[in-house]
Structure 1
Amino acid sequence: MHAARRTLAAAAAPLLIAGLAACGSSEEPAATEQAPTVEETDEEQSPAEEPEDDAEEDSPPAEQPEDSEAAEGSESPEDQEADGPEQSEGEESEDSDDAGETGAAGSGASSVEHLWIDDSWTIEEIDDICGEMDLSPANYSDQEGFFTCGPTAASALACQVEAENLVRCITNAPGRSAISFTSDKAAEDAGAMPANEDALPIQVTLPEGVTCQPISHDHDQHFEDMFSWYSCDDGSELLTDEDITNTFAVEGETWTVQQSVDKGAPEEVVAQTVTFAGG
């Protein structure tokens, strides 16, 4: 009996294993049942892909030209090398032009002008101051026919014979003041008067419109015992070591002066305009 039971048990074991396997396989169809879900998902995604295509078709065409322009705008290395020198030359040309303009402005070139008496001036009629004296080339004119005569106090800085024996002389250029008189002597000799190659400005204009004019006497005290032969309308003065001709330092087209304010140490200033008597 025991042997028969063991035999039955041994025979039943494979059946039990097979039954358990059958029970385990009965759970797998649940996973198998989910497979259609994957297929349904694929079917649901396929229509979703079509709207993406439609979205791409409906997208604004402006994005495509940007890509096309970028593609068209791209240059080969040869084209870039060919364009490179032209751009650099253009940039160098602009830089050189700017440098030239900056150099002209920084050079402090002074403007040279001429002025003469007209009807807008204040003209005082006086007696002949030339008399029988010899004429001298005007210190403040660089043109022929301009002269000076008479005493220093008359301040006849630059004179000219204008008609017959009528003489006019500038006495104060910034103030537009002049004198006039008749002189036979001046009428005879003025025509042969040469230009003064060492002429000095009869008026100097500094930055901010400060105007300076020559003076005949220097009786004032100045910084470190220097001298001044030009006074300015703002109270400042132009200093020099002693000689009036050293008031100006001329380099090319630039005229510089030593301007002293309130008797202080002079500062080198570039004259904006230097003016001579003349037409």
Structure 2
Amino acid sequence: MAGQVEGKVALVTGGASGIGAAVAELLAQEGATVVATDIDELRGPELVTGLNKAGGKAVFLQQDVTSEARWAEIISEIEKRFGRLDVLVSNAGIGISVPSITDMTLADWRRQTAINLDGVFLSVKYSLPLMRRSGGGSVIMMSSLAGLRGAAGLAGYSATKGGVRLLAKSVAMECAAAGDGIRVNSVHPGIIDTPIWSKIPTEATGNRANAPIDPEERAKIATPLGRAGQAAEIASGVLYLASDASRYVTGTELVIDGGMNAGAVVRPIVSK
């Protein structure tokens, strides 16, 4: 079914690469006007140029999601250009891994919290008024499987993503009580093959340098489906929540993790 978000205006933070780029691409393909924001002023414009050449409607705006002043500017620009906002995808985030929580610096804790949690708070604080003036819409907060269960070496990351999960539920209840037509949900990816893995230091060595982690190898061991997910598979879930197909869905979480949260499977031992 094509045109699932035809005529809607969608804001996607962290939209220059990874899951954000896949979300921006799919929403544009399905008829939305996409505003992709990111700190990456190289890949962001390249992304929207490609989307527009493919027949979509997209613009890029530089944004640090931790800046409250910039949030006010972004929403003002969206209202001036398009007059409305129907979909908010709060996707921008970082992952910082350490051997132990005792090894995490307060600076790293605060940086991760500022992007992963404060940035999402600011996104709803500044987007909801325009969405209400637009007659309602859908807020989609990108959490993680780490926001549903603990993960050694990722205590700080899990804390932020767990916070996003409950922020989504609470804002969903506020919007429902207000009767403003805005639905709010969270998405929880598992091991997804995106560039974020190349930016997470290896927890085994505690190396602060950017050390690559192979998501496919990790997923073969940890995921019941035996493979890493693709960014496009997360984007499909976001499209569902952004579209009217999910008009009776609010305050819940969409888990897209290859079965990891459900349990584990025992695979037969293959003799050599």
Q: TM-score, normalised by structure 2?
A: 0.23
Q: TM-score, normalised by structure 1?
A: 0.23
Structure in which a larger fraction of residues adopt strand:
1
